[in-house]
Amino acid sequence: MSRSHYPFEHTKKPLLDIKSFHQRQVRFFLYGIVLLLISLAIGMIGYRYCADLDWVTSFYNASMILTGMGPAADLHTDGAKIFAGCYSIFSGIIFLGTIAIMFAPMVHRFLHRIHLES
């Protein structure tokens, strides 16, 4: 496949030079940050309109859930509690996915290097 469709080099290709590897690492880090920001925005909007919290408290609550710290504000309606539960599950998946995205270039390089040595 061409490089534009697949972000990593094939195992039969030589190891990527260090400058290109660093560029790839930064690009994947930015993908992870964008994913986290989108997830944070979803949480803020949900807490703002489902739990009727102000924007700052919505940000605080969404960021606490997204990082796995737990809820920060008391929720009084069933709708807010259902949103919080769904957002918590979503956040756990997003957190693990973001870590996988950010570490993918390093893991690929490590495995590629091992494959080339064998």
Query: What is the chain's mean pLDDT, rounded?
Result: 88
One-letter amino acid at 30 equals L
- Does residue 35 carry a pLDDT above 90? yes
* 18 found inside a domain: no
Instruction: Quote the pLDDT of residue 10.
Output: 75
Give the Cα-Cα-Cα angle 49, 54, 57 (nearest 5 degrees). Answer: 110
Instruction: Quote the pLDDT of residue 111.
Output: 84
Instruction: Quote the pLDDT of residue 118.
Output: 65
- Does residue 53 carry a pLDDT above 80? yes
Q: Considering the entire predicted model, what is its pTM?
A: 0.81
CB–CB of 1/27 below 8 Å? no
CB atoms within 10 A of CB 63: 17
Mean pLDDT of 14-30: 89
Per the structure, the complete domain to which residue 100 belongs is given by: 32-117
Distance between CA atoms of 55 and 48, rounded to whole angstroms?
A: 6
Q: How many domains does the chain have?
A: 1
Find the CATH number of the domain harbouring 63: 1.10.287.70
26 CB contacts (<8 Å, ≥6 apart)? none
- Does residue 72 carry a pLDDT above 80? yes
- The conformation of residue 8, written as its DSSP 8-state character, comes to S
* 52 found inside a domain: yes
Closest CA to 91 of 55, 61, 67: 67
* 21 found inside a domain: no
Instruction: Quote the pLDDT of residue 5.
Output: 64
Instruction: Quote the pLDDT of residue 1.
Output: 44
* 76 found inside a domain: yes
- Cα–Cα distance list, 16 to 41, 66, 87, 116, 117 (Å): 35, 34, 38, 12, 15
CB–CB of 28/46 below 8 Å? no
One-letter amino acid at 117 equals E
Instruction: Quote the pLDDT of residue 6.
Output: 72
* 70 found inside a domain: yes
